[in-house]
Amino acid sequence: MSTVDSDQTATPLAESNGHRSYSSIPDLKESKSKKKKRTWLGDFQQQTFHSWRPIYTAQTVSLALFVFGIIFIPVGAYLLVLSERVQEIQIPYEDCSNTLQGEDFNRSCAEVINSTEIALIKSCKCRLAFNVSQEMKGTVYVYYALTNFFQNHRLYLPSRDNSQLKGDWGTVEKPNNPSRECRPYVREDLEEGSNQTEGRIYLPCGAIANSMFSDQINVLYKQPGQTIEVPLNRTGISWKTDQEHKFGNPEWFSETNFSDPEVRKKFAKPPAWRKSLWELDPENPDNNGMNNEDFIVWMRVAALPNFRKLFRILNRYSPERPEFADGMPLGEYTLEIDYAFPVTGFGGTKSIIFTTQSSLGLPNRFLGATVPHRLMMVERLYRLVKLIERRNICG
């Protein structure tokens, strides 16, 4: 039996005694038609591109690190210049003194708050003066900063009901049961081992919502002969994607419905809250419920224990306050704080930050100061290691 090449076509020549003989002469027309023209798409699909694989040596790696370090020196200097242009004023206030007349007058608000039960929170207000020695031009952002608050704790992080946050509450007559992830803040007076369908539903449920930042802060500006309030926006502080896709109110949500005693028999505010969900913003009804932007900002948990969250934005376009059209002018200011958020119990601190922004956002000296330095340091360390290895081999 003869063999035939794969790119040849065997053709019958003659037939004798019932046997057919074959010839190995190739069919040129068919062989040419089978040949396909190579294309870049075919090379890509078959992984037959020509490639170049560099061989790394001590000299090439050291040179690359050195060159990138040199390149990043002017880049780092530019980033530092941008960061230094950002103006920032930070005012800690966890130990401010109570200004309300009474038995707790001039006592630390931290002590006043910590000396009461959650259900019987006392009022504590304090005032702090600060100066703006250099005009803060442009939009001024107001942040609150917390330290030693672990929002990334493994038990704290999942304590929420995303369906409830999106407005899936059911009906007034038959509300949905909150997720079990919200425990122990699921229902009012819900004891361990009791039926989860008992008690009023916490709205919103979960440990994250229960621990929402609750200090109320106003900023006053002292002018000759009068003191005016600095206009601050409560809206525009949260992510647009969160507003549109992660948080919402049901169609039947309104302050009128929640003033109904029958509705209040089914829903309750979290135990650490002073206000109900529909009373968070008395000036703007659209900024209440799950759509409240202070609430949305708080529910986006921080990755690190020391963090800051956007609280307010200076309203530069208020027709009633033309003094702030260009930013915060020079002068004396006062913080009026309704102190309600405890931090000393877990060894934390809190402060208010007034800051402007550069084209790269908030001040960040890390990139400008450390990246070129680290590259040069790694290059020298790499050369040292290779030098030691070479001496060991030679020895």
Q: For residue 338, which phi and psi values (nearest 5 degrees)?
A: -90, 100
Distance of CA 361 to the CA centre of its chain: 14
The alpha carbons of the chain give a radius of gyration, in whole angstroms, of 35
Same domain, 336 and 239: yes
Same domain, 316 and 278: yes
Same domain, 119 and 36: no
Q: Quick check: is 6 in a domain?
A: no
Q: Are 100 and 53 in contact (CB under 8 A)?
A: no
Same domain, 183 and 301: yes
User: Where is 235: in which H helix or E strand?
Assistant: none
Q: Quick check: is 299 in a domain?
A: yes
Same domain, 126 and 252: yes
Q: Are 82 and 364 in contact (CB under 8 A)?
A: no
Same domain, 323 and 378: no
Cα gap 305→307, rounded to integer Å: 6
Q: Quick check: is 5 in a domain?
A: no
Q: Quick check: is 1 in a domain?
A: no
Domain hosting 114: range is: 93-356
Q: Are 205 and 182 in contact (CB under 8 A)?
A: yes
Per-residue pLDDT tens listing for the chain (395 residues): 444 444 444 444 444 454 554 444 455 455 555 555 667 777 777 777 677 777 777 778 888 888 888 888 888 888 888 888 889 999 999 999 999 878 888 899 998 888 766 545 677 999 999 999 999 999 999 999 999 999 999 999 999 999 999 999 888 788 889 999 998 899 887 555 555 567 889 999 999 999 999 999 999 999 988 999 999 999 999 999 999 999 999 887 776 667 777 778 888 899 999 888 888 998 998 899 999 999 999 999 999 999 999 999 999 999 999 999 999 999 999 999 999 999 988 999 999 999 998 877 777 777 767 777 777 788 778 778 777 777 666 65
Q: Quick check: is 300 in a domain?
A: yes
DSSP code of 256?
A: H
Same domain, 321 and 198: yes
Q: Quick check: is 186 in a domain?
A: yes
The predicted model scores a pTM of 0.77
Same domain, 38 and 82: no
Q: What angle do CA 86, 150, 342 make, to 5 degrees?
A: 85
**To 10 degrees, what angle do helices 58-85 and 365-394 make?**
160
Same domain, 325 and 373: no
User: Where is 388: in which H helix or E strand?
Assistant: helix 365-394
Q: Quick check: is 281 in a domain?
A: yes
Q: Looking at the 3D structure of the chain, how many domains does it have?
A: 3
Q: Tell me the CA distances in angstroms from 86 to 13, 82, 131, 251, one per residue in order.
A: 92, 7, 17, 43
Q: Quick check: is 3 in a domain?
A: no
